[in-house]
Amino acid sequence: MSGQGHDHHDHHHHDNHLDPMDARVRALETILTRKGLVDPAAIDAIVETYETKVGPRNGAAVVAKAWADPAYADWLKRDATAAIAELGFTGRQGEHMQAVFNTPDTHNLVVCTLCSCYPWSVLGLPPVWYKSPPYRSRAVIDPHGVLAEFGLVLDPQTKVRVWDSTAELRYLVIPIRPAGSEGWNEERLAGLVTRDSMIGTGLATAPEAA
């Protein structure tokens, strides 16, 4: 046992000791550790990465830069992998990036109907709903209905383009820059960019609500 993050042997109050998955995963980690196949400290490091380092703030920085810098937005359209790597965001589940830009006519929505493909390098780990059957089944057939469940009611005339992530391309939605944010610097702009706005289940926050 090593590391303070290796906390599954501790007795935190929120542990559910009736959960059979808790016992199952503990047993698996014990076996793999004893056999020298898995280093518990490596697990800690992976968890810490996605709890503290890699998350939607990365994607928000990309969006804010695209809003503030037309040359960057153009690069992002042509070669999102390189443009995003320029900001230091690379790696697992972000190896092949595509940026898709919302317009007044067209709203983009990203889903993975077959599993849970998601751009980890810019958004971190996907939320539970993104991986769950209700979203995966309906995003491609009833996107307006799905968006309404997020409180997002689009003009019925707005075209919805759904990107089903069936291969290794990972999609980042670039939401429309909200009115009233003129002259803001990238840091302030990034504060308007929600995770859901980069999946397409939301819009960027209006400045008056930020």
Partner 1 sequence: MNGPHDLGGQMGFGPVAPETDEPFFHADWEKRALGITLCAGAMGHWNIDESRHARESLHPAVYYGSSYYEIWTRAVETLLKRHGFVTDAELAAGAALEAGTPPRRVLKAADVPAMLARGGPCDRPVAAAPRFSAGQRVRTRNMHPTGHTRLPRYVRGKTGTVEAVHGGFVLPDTNAHGHGENPERLYTVVFTGPELWGDAADPTLTVSVDAWESYLEPA
Which residue numbers are catalytic? 112, 115-117
Residue 100, φ and ψ in degrees, nearest 5: -120, 130
Contact call for residue 4 and partner 1 (CB under 8 A): no
Indicate whether 128 belongs to the interface with partner 1 (CB under 8 A).
Answer: yes
For residue 57, state whether it binds partner 1 (rule: CB under 8 A).
no
Residue 164 sits in the site that holds partner 1 (CB under 8 A): yes
Q: To the nearest whole angstrom, how small is the minimum distance from the Cβ of residue 69 to partner 1?
A: 24
Stretch that binds partner 1, among 71-79, 131-139, 175-183, 185-193 (CB under 8 A): 131-139
Show contacts with partner 1 in window 61-120 (CB under 8 A).
90-96, 113-116
| Segment contacting partner 1 by CB under 8 A, of 64-72, 143-151, 176-184, 185-193 | 143-151
- Strand runs labelled E in the chain: 97-101, 106-111, 159-164, 170-174
Q: Is 144 one of the binding residues for partner 1 (CB under 8 A)?
A: yes
Closer Cβ to partner 1, 46 or 206, answer by number: 46
Phi and psi at residue 163, to the nearest 5°: -105, 110
C-beta of 165 vs 181, nearer to partner 1: 165
Q: How many other CB atoms are there within 10 angstroms of residue 26's CB atom?
A: 12
- Say if residues 100 and 161 touch (Cβ distance below 8 Å): yes
Sign of CA dihedral 90, 176, 149, 115: negative
Least distance in angstroms from the C-beta of 9 to partner 1: 10
Is position 206 an interface residue for partner 1 (rule: CB under 8 A)? no
Q: Phi, psi at residue 101, to the nearest 5°? A: -100, 125
The closest alpha carbon to 143, from 128, 158, 132, belongs to: 158
One residue of 1, 21, 71, 179 binding partner 1 per CB under 8 A: 21
Which one, of 84, 75, 46, 64, lies nearest residue 169 by Cα?
84
